[in-house]
Amino acid sequence: MSEEVNPFESMQEQIDDAAVHLDIDPGVLERLKNPERVLETTLSVEMDDGAIETFRAYRSQFNGDRGPYKGGIRYHPGVNRDEVKALSGWMVYKCAAVDIPFGGGKGGIALDPSGYSADELERVTRAYTEELRPLIGEDRDIPAPDVNTGQREMNWVKDTYESLENTTEPGVVTGKAVESGGSEGRVEATGRSVAIVSREAFDYRGGDVADATVAVQGYGNAGWVAADLLEDMGATVVAVSDSSGAIHDPDGLDPVAVKDHKRDTGSVAGFEGAGAWTNRDLLTADVDLLVPAALENAIDADIAADVSADIIVEAANGPLTPDADDILEERDVLVVPDILANAGGVTVSYFEWVQNRQRFQWTEQRVNDELERVVTEAFDELVDTFEERELGTFREAMYVVALQRVRRAAEQSGVWP
Ligand code: NAD
């Protein structure tokens, strides 16, 4: 993994690449490349042994021209200000890519949750929510899960906010458990959009995802569901990895059995009948489809030169460095960008928010049908723009679509006072 690439600079470069094709006022463009505000705070939390520990925490609100800020909360030791800024910017363009009425935000706490008890994590989450309280709300800024956070943390955020505000406002956060106002289909939504765009990408290239061999880097919420749904579509998942190692089986791995093994042992490594690989082996494996579903900058220029897959579908946010992107374009590897591929998560978060406001629960079938429609329409718009404007990459095309939408909203909002 490349350490030198700053994800915030990568994100700004992606916007600049798209802006070349649009006649945008330089002042407006600068505004669309920078967050409106960033909260940086230190949480002081009592540990189980009575000691006080401090944690660096952030929330970036990047752009609200199209609706409330929207984006996940990440718990990871690598969380820092620039990473949160980058992730919040990607959320703006992701929401615009699939045309849902949200802006973009992102938050995070620099901590490794594996080192803390559930009680400690609850106190950390509640302390963080108290800091966020003036900034969030169902019409202001709506957090969601990201790396190392899930329904449990979202339920804590909801409860803390509602207790402090003396109200019920389930739409203040998405990704909640269904019983606490969550949506059917939300847990699977990110992996589902990854599988849908994979199917569309093979179709675009004149192939069939059912014939594809697949490698998935990162076996968390996004990665494992993508692997499972791709297998349902007939694809053969031959390799998967997590932070402890990679496994492979040329005859195909059973995604559910691997998931159960990871639940029981903490890792995909050691799965019975599978061979062990390095992270690099997996990323350069001779497969048709590569799905990076771990963290930013997983594929740098060095790895990109050796990638064998014909198609990469970015389940993670920002998994390719800008140099890797250039090399893969030269090598005619089709990259379906993160802002479309993993947009299923925020799309079903939007459905959850709509259901919360309606106080009316949709069926899982309805959620999945609406998601299918939103993602395939966005894919078609990407392809139309790619072909009409004769662009170099799918990423550029998706950013052109998204940037046009955000730019129009920003220009229509104007500047006040
Ligand atoms: P997660 O915490 O559930 O899973 C992350 C996985 O990546 C874990 O299996 C972890 O072991 C693995 N990993 C970490 N470092 C790795 C490495 N160096 N090599 C191989 N594996 C590694 O997180 P998630 O929610 O699945 O998120 C994964 C990515 O998808 C992130 O980039 C996130 O921003 C993005 N994403 C997630 C959602 C969502 O709804 N969960 C939505 C959109 C985008």
Our measurement of the distance from residue 142's CA atom to the centroid of its chain's CA atoms, rounded to an integer in Å, reads 15
Kindly state the average pLDDT of the residues 60-70: 98
Residue 230: which pLDDT band, with cuts at 50, 70 and 90?
very high
**Nearest ligand 1 atom, CA 342:** 43
Kindly state the average pLDDT of the residues 126-130: 98
CB 200 within 8 A of CB 379: yes
Substitution candidate for ligand 1 out of 91, 221, 320 with most atoms within 8 A of CB = 221
Return d(Cα 109, Cα 120) in angstroms, integer: 13
Residue 158: which pLDDT band, with cuts at 50, 70 and 90?
very high
321 Cβ contact list (under 8 Å, min separation 6): 2, 5, 10, 297, 299, 300, 301
pLDDT computed for residue 3 by the predictor: 54
Kindly state the average pLDDT of the residues 87-96: 98
Kindly state the average pLDDT of the residues 257-281: 97
Starting at the edge strand found earlier in the chain, the sheet holding 236-242 runs 275-277, 245-248, 236-242, 213-217, 289-292, 311-313, 334-336
Residue 186: which pLDDT band, with cuts at 50, 70 and 90?
very high
pLDDT at 4 over 90: no
CATH topology assigned to domain 34-170: Rossmann fold (3.40.50)
* Ligand 1 atom 30: residue of nearest CA: 316
Same-fold call for 34-170 versus 189-336 = yes
**Nearest ligand 1 atom, CA 315:** 30
Catalytic residue (choose from 33, 85, 94, 106): 106
Return d(Cα 151, Cα 221) in angstroms, integer: 11
At 292, is the secondary structure helix, strand, or coil? Answer: strand
Kindly state the average pLDDT of the residues 14-41: 95
**Nearest ligand 1 atom, CA 298:** 18
pLDDT computed for residue 417 by the predictor: 76
Q: Which residues pair with 246 in a beta bridge?
A: 241, 277
Return d(Cα 86, Cα 33) in angstroms, integer: 10
* Ligand 1 atom 21: residue of nearest CA: 242
Instruction: Provide the mean pLDDT of the chain.
Output: 97
Query: How far, in Å, from the CA of 166 to the mean position of ligand 1?
Result: 34
Domain ranges of the chain: 34-170, 189-336
* Ligand 1 atom 36: residue of nearest CA: 316
Of 228, 62, 98, 87, whose CA–CA distance to 146 is shortest? 87
CB 347 within 8 A of CB 97: no
* CA distances for 414 relative to 227, 290, 409, 411, angstroms: 44, 42, 9, 5
**CA gyration radius, the chain:** 20
Q: Specify the CATH number of the domain 189-336.
A: 3.40.50.720
Kindly state the average pLDDT of the residues 252-276: 98
Which residue in this structure is represented by tokens 């392809």?
383
Max CA separation in the chain (angstroms) = 66
Query: How far, in Å, from the CA of 359 to the mean position of ligand 1?
Result: 31
The single-letter code of the amino acid at 254 is: D
User: Ligand 1 pocket: which residues have CB below 6 Å?
Assistant: 1, 145-148, 190, 217-223, 241-243, 279, 293-295, 315-317, 342, 345
Percent of the chain's residues with pLDDT above 90 = 98
Of 104, 140, 99, 66, whose CA–CA distance to 407 is shortest? 66
DSSP string, 197-211: HHHHHHHHTT--GGG
Return d(Cα 241, Cα 372) in angstroms, integer: 27
The lowest-confidence range among 24-28, 86-90, 91-95, 358-362 is: 24-28
Return d(Cα 90, Cα 187) in angstroms, integer: 20
Question: Backbone dihedral region of 296: left (phi > 0), alpha (psi from -120 to 50 degrees) or beta?
Answer: beta
Kindly state the average pLDDT of the residues 289-294: 98
pLDDT computed for residue 1 by the predictor: 44
Kindly state the average pLDDT of the residues 2-20: 88
pLDDT (tens digit per residue) in 102-122: 999 999 999 999 999 999 999
Residue 5: which pLDDT band, with cuts at 50, 70 and 90?
confident
87 Cβ contact list (under 8 Å, min separation 6): 7, 60, 71, 72, 74, 106, 108, 146, 317, 318
Query: How far, in Å, from the CA of 303 to the mean position of ligand 1?
Result: 19
Residue 415: which pLDDT band, with cuts at 50, 70 and 90?
confident
Kindly state the average pLDDT of the residues 141-170: 97
Return d(Cα 81, Cα 312) in angstroms, integer: 28
Kindly state the average pLDDT of the residues 58-75: 98
Return d(Cα 74, Cα 71) in angstroms, integer: 10
Return d(Cα 244, Cα 147) in angstroms, integer: 16
Query: How far, in Å, from the CA of 308 to the mean position of ligand 1?
Result: 22
Query: How far, in Å, from the CA of 221 to the mean position of ligand 1?
Result: 7
pLDDT computed for residue 75 by the predictor: 98
Percent of the chain's residues with pLDDT above 70 = 99
Q: Is 176 a catalytic residue?
A: no
CB 198 within 8 A of CB 291: yes
Task: Supply the angle between the helices 81-97 and 7-19 in degrees, to the nearest 10.
Answer: 30
Return d(Cα 240, Cα 242) in angstroms, integer: 7
